[in-house]
Chains A and B, each alone.
Chain A
Amino acid sequence: MAVIEARGLSKEYPRVRALTDLSVEIPGGAVGLLGPNGAGKSTLIKILLGFTGPSAGSVRVLGLDPAVDALKIRQQVGYMPEVESHVPTLSAVDYVYLAARLTGLPHTDAMQRTHRVLNYVGLHDERYRKIGTYSTGMKQKVKFAQAIVHHPKLLLLDEPTTGLDPRARDEMLQLIRDIAHGKGIDVILSTHILPDVEVVCDHVVIMHRGALIAQDKIANMTASAAAAYEVHIKGDRDAFLASLKGEGLEGTAGEQDGSLRIAHRDGTAPILRAAVASGVQIRRLTRPQTTLEDRFSKLIGG
């Protein structure tokens, strides 16, 4: 079931068009919302939370319309903004507790949940210190804790690993993975850091200049390119191509200079037979490893 359904969504600001006729269905699970800066990811999140309305089109979050049921949506959605958004004079306990109370949790539940989620993210005695004294990694954990304190159905994470050192980044990604795959909370991870998405998400939605340009499972995105071989030969290239045709295969120019790309999924035997038949030497035969980054670069023309 789709957690978010957008139909013809557009958003225009006085000097910029942030979203252009965006139609997308984002499924449950862990989904990466990818796009370069200015792709419209943050604007989409603002519309989903009811911070701002669309100029045209409609959107539903967990089956609810943000224009009508913004408060209900916010009770079921957790949001971790990209920027720092805490009051430095409050302790982590006070801040997360306030977030819980503002969502509507009663006092006792809010206090219990506050301590549980702070344990969960790994903030212990330091939770009683003022947030203003925290490191970037600790501040990110507090933001994450406030986003999950009310046990949302859907978690919107906006660049959660920005500014983190490698260790803190790994910790944050493990937390997100655990929440998405172990706690039954659907996660939308908005980022431009593609390796983060590969670590956490199963599905990816790619936006560019306010529009949807691709949406699929990550496995499918990387598999389509992997169903081919890249081969370097020494010898008569034309003869080799003719032999390949005899085997029912076709060779095209590969990614690297002088290489050939042969679309073929099952085994190397016909390629080797074609090489023997045409009398060429195979110097290298590989299955190209396409990463999400490769696909992303191609899609946005980078």
Chain B
Amino acid sequence: MAIYDQSYTPWTGEYASRWTRIRAMIEMELLQPFKNIWVLLTVLVAFSVVGSWLLLLFFASSSQVLPPFVAGNRVYREGFYNFPLFSMILMVLSATVGASLIARDVRHRALLMYFSRSITRMDYLIGKFLSLVFFLLLVALGPGILLFLGQLGMGQERLTFGQRLGDLGSITLHSLILTIPMSAVVLAFSSLTKRTYLAAILWATFYFLSVSLSEVLRVTLKADWPKMLSWVNVTAHLGDLCYATRSSPGLPMAPSSAPILDCGWGPPLVILGSLTVLSLLLVWRRLRSVEVEE
């Protein structure tokens, strides 16, 4: 039999910190999606949206007539983050990658391995949550920063360092608004079932139902408040509020777009915050019960 006796030696090193253990989980989960060709292609599509804008920006930089999208920060908001194709990409990626995170571990009883290691349920939850947040951030913030760099190099607006930094902060904040609640809700659906596809379907249903129900109620009731029921509206509205309104000397004022919701940041923030907290509580509760069952 194959016992390679010399290959086994005792280990006498020092254990790493708790955060290092969580980070190991995040690293492993972050690598997994990139082994799937379809996920890779979808990520590329997200980057290609930005690539198209950069191309337009390049042509606009040599033009005498400034196209409206170049002025202000509309290109970030309307050109990328609130662009329907990008919203769809983010939803599809979160369903593909996030739905399997807990469902897969429960189905294959991998939780037994996780919890027989030196991590707590909370560590596991944090690890899974952050791995999805970081993955979605890569898809949201990565192209956003590329667009920012394109604006920096090719944009004709004369902005101060502070304004540039403000744009960068706005992009980051907008990305976080899109990814954090989405990760929490997808993770909650993932913890509800052992079947990955079912978790993905549940999340997609929730997403589309919120959008269509909001529109149906708005038309039926002839009121504006149902707009707040739409996931897309709430995240887009909060995202829009991250950007400063400004005019640049020598450049035409960017045409202001109408606000998505007739309210400030309070109600949408409460809605998204509550959904995030409730989702994470649900995951926590599920993890506790699953561990005992195993």
Q: What is A's interface to B at a CB cutoff of 8 Å?
A: 49, 51-52, 71-72, 74-75, 77, 79, 81, 83-90, 94-95, 98-99, 101-106, 109-110, 113, 116-117, 119-122, 146, 148, 150-151, 170-171, 174-175, 178, 182-184
Is B112 touching A75 in the complex (CB atoms < 8 A)? no
Is A94 touching B28 in the complex (CB atoms < 8 A)? yes
Is B3 touching A174 in the complex (CB atoms < 8 A)? yes
A185 to chain B, nearest CB (A): 9
B8 to chain A, nearest CB (A): 4
Is A119 touching B7 in the complex (CB atoms < 8 A)? yes
User: What 6 A-B pairs are tightest by C-beta distance, nearest first?
Assistant: A122-B2, A104-B15, A101-B24, A102-B117, A119-B7, A151-B11
B33 to chain A, nearest CB (A): 11
**Residues on the B chain within 8 Å of A120, using CB:** 3-5, 7-8
**Residues on the A chain within 8 Å of B10, using CB:** 151, 183-184
Closest to A177 in B: B3
A4 to chain B, nearest CB (A): 16
Select one of A83, A98, A122, A151 contacting B4, CB under 8 A.
A122
How many chain B residues touch A (Cβ–Cβ < 8 Å)? 41
Alpha-carbon separation in the docked complex, A51 to B108 (Å): 18
Is A104 touching B113 in the complex (CB atoms < 8 A)? no
Q: Is B223 an interface residue (CB 8 A)?
A: no
Q: List 30 A-B contacts (CB under 8 A).
A: A51-B116, A51-B291, A51-B292, A74-B117, A77-B116, A84-B109, A85-B109, A85-B113, A86-B113, A87-B104, A89-B35, A89-B104, A102-B21, A102-B118, A104-B15, A104-B16, A104-B20, A105-B11, A106-B13, A106-B14, A110-B24, A117-B8, A120-B7, A121-B2, A122-B3, A146-B113, A150-B11, A151-B12, A171-B2, A178-B5
Alpha-carbon separation in the docked complex, A92 to B113 (Å): 13
Closest to A102 in B: B117
Apart from the given pairs A119-B4, A151-B11, 7 other A-B contacts in the complex at a CB distance below 8 Å: A71-B119, A79-B112, A86-B110, A89-B35, A103-B21, A151-B10, A178-B5
B98-121 near A? 1/0 per residue, CB < 8 Å: 000000110011111111111110
Closest to B100 in A: A89
| Majority DSSP secondary structure for residues of A touching B | helix
**Residues on the A chain within 8 Å of B28, using CB:** 90, 94, 98, 101
Is B8 touching A116 in the complex (CB atoms < 8 A)? yes
Q: Is B221 an interface residue (CB 8 A)?
A: no
A22 to chain B, nearest CB (A): 19
Q: Is B257 an interface residue (CB 8 A)?
A: no
**Residues on the A chain within 8 Å of B292, using CB:** 51-52
Select one of B8, B20, B108, B117 contacting A183, CB under 8 A.
B8
B41 to chain A, nearest CB (A): 18
A250 to chain B, nearest CB (A): 48
Select one of B2, B11, B117, B120 contacting A99, CB under 8 A.
B117
Alpha-carbon separation in the docked complex, A88 to B120 (Å): 23
**Residues on the B chain within 8 Å of A183, using CB:** 8, 10
Which of B17, B108, B118 lies at the interface centre, i.e. has the most chain A CB atoms within 10 A of its CB? B118
**Residues on the B chain within 8 Å of A86, using CB:** 108, 110, 113
Q: Is B66 an interface residue (CB 8 A)?
A: no
Alpha-carbon separation in the docked complex, A74 to B18 (Å): 13
Is B118 touching A75 in the complex (CB atoms < 8 A)? yes
Is A106 touching B110 in the complex (CB atoms < 8 A)? no
Q: Is B25 an interface residue (CB 8 A)?
A: yes
Closest to A89 in B: B32
Q: Is B160 an interface residue (CB 8 A)?
A: no
B193 to chain A, nearest CB (A): 17
Q: Is B1 an interface residue (CB 8 A)?
A: yes
